[in-house]
Amino acid sequence: MNTGTIILLIILAVLIILLVALYFFGKKAQKKQEEQQSQLEAVAQTVSMLVIDKKRMRLKDAGLPQMVIDQTPKLLRRSKLPIVKAKVGPKVMSLICDEKIFDSVPVKKEVKAVVSGIYITSVKGLRGPLEQPAKKKGFRQKLQDKAAKMQAQVKEEETAAKNNKKKKK
């Protein structure tokens, strides 16, 4: 065998080993996530709250208890989390919100929220349904809209020019 074939076989073997390792690591992570989700659901309770403010901010700037900050991994301490400041009963609290529902949480409105510790998992309107915010358009969508608008303008100008020629004749 020549050296090129040997190198190719070694690279192929390493890739196969990596894929197998990632498969088992992914299964283990999925089981861990399902276990955490079941724990969140077990201690969840529905609470009526008035949402004062919501922001994405760093964990140490959010006003959360020091015990929570100490328990988080060091890599996550610098990342920004969706934080909701709400009045629950007589207390004003800072709560961490689920990323999926953060945009649908209304500010300065009363809501019923499912809270698990300091983590908000779902929100419902107390008086009627919540308004869903309009999704922001991405860069590509904006470009496509501009291109379509320009094409429509060009067609209008062409039809106007044809109409003018017909009128002159």
Q: pLDDT digits over 55-68, tens only? A: 999 888 888 888 88
Residue 150 lies inside a defined structural domain of this protein:
no
Three-state SS for 59? Answer: coil
Residue 53 lies inside a defined structural domain of this protein:
yes
Instruction: Return the CATH number at 67.
Output: 2.40.50
pTM for the structure as a whole = 0.63
pLDDT value for 169: 63
Q: Residue 166 gets which letter from DSSP? A: H
pLDDT value for 18: 97
Tally of domains in the chain: 1
Burial of 50 per CB tally in 10 Å (0-12, 13-18, 19+): middle
Residue 16 lies inside a defined structural domain of this protein:
no
Residue 147 lies inside a defined structural domain of this protein:
no
Q: Give the other-Cβ count within 10 Å of 113's Cβ.
A: 24
Q: Where in the sequence is the domain holding 106, given as residue range(s)?
A: 44-125
| Residue pLDDT tens, the chain, 169 long | 688 899 999 999 999 999 999 999 999 999 999 998 898 888 889 999 999 999 999 888 888 888 888 888 888 888 899 999 999 989 999 999 999 999 889 899 899 999 998 899 999 887 777 776 666 778 888 888 889 989 999 988 888 888 887 777 6
Residue 32 lies inside a defined structural domain of this protein:
no
| Structural contact between residues 63 and 93, judged by C-beta atoms closer than 8 angstroms | no
Residue 65 lies inside a defined structural domain of this protein:
yes
Structure tokens at 156: 């209008």
pLDDT value for 166: 76
What Å distances lie between residue 100 and 2, 79, 103, 104, 134, CA to CA?
54, 17, 7, 8, 15
pLDDT value for 1: 66
